[in-house]
Amino acid sequence: MIARPAGGAARLIPAIDTGDLARAEALAAALAGRCGVLKVGLELFCAAGAPAVAAVTRHAPVFLDLKLHDIPNTVAGALRSLLPLRPAMVTLHAGGGPAMVAAARDAAERAGADRPLLLAVTVLTSMDAAALAATGVADSPAAQVLRLARMAVAAGADGLVCSPQEAALLRAELGPGPALVVPGVRPAGSAAGDQARTATPAEAVAAGADWIVVGRPITGAADPAAAAASIAATLPG
Ligand SMILES: O=C(O)c1cc(=O)[nH]c(=O)n1[C@@H]1O[C@H](COP(=O)(O)O)[C@@H](O)[C@H]1O
């Protein structure tokens, strides 16, 4: 399994969100020396599939973020199908429940010591309290994140995806064990876009994030490599 980053640029995971494989390869080449991991998400995977993962893996370990959410048997099968791509990290939705998380963990174990870090997504960083309430959850995002996080870790998740606003709570309640991967991160002055629960890169790390995920502030910059370097420079070494 991938080791936790010691600090600095190794904590940064740029999200290569594009449907264009050539652009993804160019971004991966430009960003590889300035981050620890590169994220392939739904947009790139739906456009270009396994070859996109192979292409990005040539530059850095890949966080394959497909947010699996289905019955346990189907999620386990999906995990088995993804293992040959050798992702360093994979995501599934904690909301699929403990049997789904446990089935994914069993499937991931087939890769032995080299298995991907299994990350459970809690409450999406794009959701505020009103959006959560619209799904039938009256609790605050923080309370729901903690509930899902406890369940997912008990069921076998190695780590959690949460917003920077819940990272300190999860560290305090769950200790140093679970890896925390934190999107919804915005350098000071950059547009939030559809992200609702945000903080700066340095704030996210101070709150307990092991890795931070940053997409548009890097990929939308005129010079993505320079944007990544300037974010990394704000992270504690
Ligand atoms: O699992 C994720 O990575 C994820 C979970 C979440 O709650 N929120 C979230 O934004 N993400 C991903 O993190 C990235 C954030 O991108 P930007 O908003 O452009 O920085 C996207 O690729 C999202 O799919």
Looking at residues 154-166, what average pLDDT do you find? 98
162-186: b or e for each residue (b if 16 or more CB lie within 10 Å)?
Answer: bbbbbbbbbbeebeeebbbbbbbbb
ipTM reported for the complex surpasses 0.90:
yes
Q: What is the pLDDT of residues 22-31, one digit of tens each?
A: 999 999 999 9
Q: What is the pLDDT of residues 180-232, one digit of tens each?
A: 999 999 999 999 999 999 999 999 999 999 999 999 999 999 999 999 999 99
Looking at residues 74-96, what average pLDDT do you find? 98
Q: What is the pLDDT of residues 40-65, one digit of tens each?
A: 999 999 999 999 999 999 999 999 99
Distance from Cα 163 to the centre of ligand 1, integer Å = 9
Ligand 1 atom nearest 39 alpha carbon: 22
Distance of CA 52 to the CA centre of its chain: 17
Amino acid at 43: E
Residue 237 has pLDDT above 90, yes or no: no
Beta bridge partners, 74, equal none
- Catalytic positions: 67
Distance from Cα 206 to the centre of ligand 1, integer Å = 19
Distance separating alpha carbons of residues 144 and 114, to the nearest angstrom: 31
Token pair listed for 43? 């947009």
Tokens 């309370």 belong to 143
- Fold category of 9-230 in CATH: TIM Barrel (3.20.20)
Q: Mapping DSSP to helix (H, G, I), strand (E, B) and coil, where does residue 66 land?
A: strand
The answer to whether the CB of 98 falls within 8 A of the CB of 154 is yes
Residue 168 has pLDDT above 80, yes or no: yes
The answer to whether the CB of 165 falls within 8 A of the CB of 193 is no
Ligand 1 atom nearest 126 alpha carbon: 8
Tokens 């934190």 belong to 182
The answer to whether the CB of 213 falls within 8 A of the CB of 39 is yes
Ligand 1 atom nearest 15 alpha carbon: 22
Residues framing ligand 1 (Cβ under 6 A):
15, 17, 41, 65, 67, 91, 121, 124-125, 161, 183-184, 193, 195, 213-216
The H or E element spanning position 45 is: helix 42-57
Average pLDDT of the residues of the chain: 97
Distance from Cα 101 to the centre of ligand 1, integer Å = 20
Q: Mapping DSSP to helix (H, G, I), strand (E, B) and coil, where does residue 40 land?
A: strand
pLDDT-above-90 percentage for the chain: 99
Residue 170 has pLDDT above 80, yes or no: yes
Distance separating alpha carbons of residues 27 and 38, to the nearest angstrom: 10
